[in-house]
Chains A and B, each alone.
Chain A
Amino acid sequence: MGHSQKESVWGSCNLFSRKAILFSLTLLVFFNFHLKDTQAHPLSPPTELFAQDTPNDHGKSISLNWNLSPDDGKVEGGVLSYEILRSTGLQGVFEVVGSVPAGTKEFTDQDTALVNSHNYYYKSRAVAVTDSAVSEIFGPVTPSGQWFHTGKTSVFVATLLFCLIIIVAISYAKRGGKLYIRPLAGINAVDEAIGRATEMGQPILFVPGLGEAYEVATIAAFTILGRVARKTAEYQSRLIVPAYYPMVMVVSQEVVKSAYMDVGRPDIYNEKDIFFVTQEQFPYAAAVNGIMLRERPAANFYLGKFYAESLMLAETGFLAGSIQIAGTDEPIQIPFFVAACDYVLIGEELYAASAYLSRDPVQLGTLKGQDWNKLAIVILVGLGILTATLGFAWFINLFNVNI
């Protein structure tokens, strides 16, 4: 009935009126849509804000993530950035603690003001040119430190196993177990070099490198220095040790002094021959080069940590005609020593030389333990290649380290 009534009203209009009505309706629909598209509507906030204590750290850090605002990515009126606001109370004042650009979903609050075991509340605010929208509050979150870094479990297990193997080897050495170490050419040449210097009546130069006193290569160098000092004390030769760090000078003096006392010649120990030069790389190299040309040592020892100065030193020593023995665990510098020195201790040979010379059960056991560890690594690599080839990824994943 209604339908027929509408038809009758429509039917009663003439052709012109019908066209006018249709035109008006079209305009109305067009402008309605256009207005909907351009009119300012409120910016949508980010959602699902989540915050938690950052795992595997010493605390004082909160990790946050959120879902992007629906207006993120829009060219006009879209989100420009997200601000992260923090408060110590639900009703407290929220302060901006960080900002990330649009499209970013996460932030780590590492503000130094964060205190472990305190509660914090967070909000994330989407910021546009003229507008902003705040998410719901998330909290409380409490930063705390962890004693165990779960991402480094493999390192923990490996450290335990490595140490266990070395402890077993040391205890075996201490009980008097026979531990063979193959001879190292560079070390056998030490006595020869000192003997030559003594015959020529010229001093011996020992350069302990640019490493700090606590670095493994420097510690190994100290052991060899002890051996060299013992020989120079026996032969009454002069030993010169220019140090790069004051602490290296102090330790070198202690080592040389002990060696001279062991041999029973503390009277010929000269502390002034073991001196601090400078803590700057190239002035140090220039000074050592000068010593080589002025003091004319017959034997030069470069043992420890070396960097770009290695070739400068070895080349000058070579030109001065000295017999040269070098050793470092810096792989980049070894080629220069190989090119310019008579004998080179490559990498771990430096540590082995230290044990070989001292015959100390602890050092010998450590070296033996390291050999067993190397054997274990070779076996593990073989197993890893086999399992990877057969398509078992789990074995390789055991060695994951997530820092």
Chain B
Amino acid sequence: MPISTDIGVWVAVFFTLCIFSFLYKDNPFYKFAEHVAVGVSAGYWFVVLMKETLEPAVFLPLKQGRWNLVPGPFGIFLLILPVLIGLLLFFRFSKKYNYIARIPIALIYGIGAGPTLVQYLQNSVIRQIQPTMVKISFASWDSFSEVLIAVGVVCGLTYFFFSKEHRGTIGAVAKVGIWTLMIGFGATFGFTVMARVSLLIGRFVFLMRDWLGVIS
């Protein structure tokens, strides 16, 4: 297969090699690729936010006179209120009234933290507690692994117990907990590194096949 004549492939190859050059040291080619990537992505997200958020949610309803986004007496607030709250952020540029800009920030905090609390409790606590309550039968290896998980959970929780110094019995249990965590981290590390190596292979395949055409 001959070398690629596609201009797009050549551009991609150029930027790939620029980024790879960082393995040697920081250099003007890497710097150029970095600045292009940052500039393009920042511009891209600006357009995405304009087109997918501001335009359908604010500009179009205002332009078409659809003030009530949903039927009912409060529909109008769904359009006007977020816009007004968002505009408050511009008070950051005022020396006298810049404290007003903290109102939308506080709202973002509150609105974000509220639903997150329930989601965490549902997915990371309640739905994790139940599978940990295993029946101990000592009849098979499956039961052994389930007991291992239960012990790991209890010891792991003890490690994250901040009210007591990790000494004595609590210290010993917490040590088992951190070992359990580290074994888990090790497995995750290996798994993720394999995934990264496959990404690297993918990039080399691109260079060898799509650009140079030396492999099929």
Co-complex (A, B): yes
- Chain A residues in contact with chain B, CB under 8 A? 115, 152, 154-155, 158-159, 162, 179-182, 212-216, 219, 247, 250-251, 254, 276-280, 282-284, 286-287, 289-290, 293-294, 311, 331-332, 334-336, 338-339, 346-349, 352, 367-368, 371, 374-375, 377-378, 380-382, 384-385, 387-389, 395-396, 399-401
Contacts of A374 in B (CB 8 A): 157, 160-161
Contact B163 A368 (CB under 8 A): yes
Extra 9 A-B pairs, beta carbons < 8 Å, given A280-B42, A335-B186: A155-B126, A182-B163, A213-B109, A219-B109, A250-B92, A280-B44, A338-B182, A368-B163, A387-B133
Query: Chain B interface secondary structure, helix, strand, loop or mixed?
Result: helix
Contacts of B89 in A (CB 8 A): 250
Contacts of A380 in B (CB 8 A): 129
Contacts of B95 in A (CB 8 A): none
Contact B105 A250 (CB under 8 A): yes
Which of A152, A276, A289 is in CB contact (< 8 Å) with B122?
A152
- The interface stretch among B30-38, B54-62, B73-81, B206-214 is B30-38
Which of B45, B118, B165 is in CB contact (< 8 Å) with A182?
B165
CA distance A162 to B40 in the complex (A): 45
Contacts of A293 in B (CB 8 A): 25-26
User: B185 an interface residue at 8 Å Cβ cutoff?
Assistant: yes
CA distance A358 to B163 in the complex (A): 16
Contact A335 B109 (CB under 8 A): no
Closest to B30 in A: A290
CA distance A401 to B118 in the complex (A): 13
User: B21 an interface residue at 8 Å Cβ cutoff?
Assistant: no
Mark each residue of chain B from 131 to 153: 1 if its CB lies under 8 Å from any CB of chain A, else 0. Answer: 01111110000000000001001
Contact B126 A181 (CB under 8 A): no
Known contacts A367-B162, A368-B163; A399/B41 CB under 8 A: no
> Ordered nearest first, which 3 A-B pairs have the shortest CB separation?
A214-B112, A384-B133, A280-B41
Closest to A389 in B: B136
Contact B42 A155 (CB under 8 A): no
- Shortest beta-carbon distance from B97 to chain A in Å: 14
Closest to B33 in A: A286
Select the residue from B22, B101, B185 with max chain A CB neighbours within 10 A: B185
Contact B154 A247 (CB under 8 A): no
Contacts of A279 in B (CB 8 A): 41-42, 45
Contact A213 B31 (CB under 8 A): no
Within 183-213 of B, Cβ neighbours of A (below 8 Å) are at 184-186, 188-189, 192, 196
Known contacts A182-B165, A283-B38, A294-B26; A336/B189 CB under 8 A: yes
Contact B34 A283 (CB under 8 A): yes
Contact B126 A154 (CB under 8 A): yes
Contact A335 B133 (CB under 8 A): no
What are 7 A-B contacts with C-beta separation under 8 Å? Answer: A158-B121, A216-B116, A251-B105, A279-B41, A378-B157, A399-B130, A401-B126
Contacts of A375 in B (CB 8 A): 161
Which of A158, A213, A385 is in CB contact (< 8 Å) with B134?
A385
CA distance A367 to B44 in the complex (A): 41
CA distance A4 to B14 in the complex (A): 109
CA distance A79 to B79 in the complex (A): 48
CA distance A297 to B71 in the complex (A): 55
Known contacts A213-B108, A286-B38, A347-B160; A278/B45 CB under 8 A: yes
- Shortest beta-carbon distance from B109 to chain A in Å: 6
Which of A162, A250, A278, A377 is in CB contact (< 8 Å) with B42?
A278
Contact B185 A338 (CB under 8 A): yes
Which of A180, A254, A282, A348 is in CB contact (< 8 Å) with B102?
A254
Contacts of A401 in B (CB 8 A): 122, 126-127
Contact B181 A286 (CB under 8 A): no
User: B96 an interface residue at 8 Å Cβ cutoff?
Assistant: no
- Shortest beta-carbon distance from B9 to chain A in Å: 20
Closest to B186 in A: A335
Closest to A156 in B: B118
CA distance A287 to B113 in the complex (A): 29
Which of A213, A280, A396 is in CB contact (< 8 Å) with B45?
A280
CA distance A387 to B133 in the complex (A): 9
- Shortest beta-carbon distance from B95 to chain A in Å: 12
Contacts of B33 in A (CB 8 A): 286
CA distance A282 to B34 in the complex (A): 9
User: B100 an interface residue at 8 Å Cβ cutoff?
Assistant: no
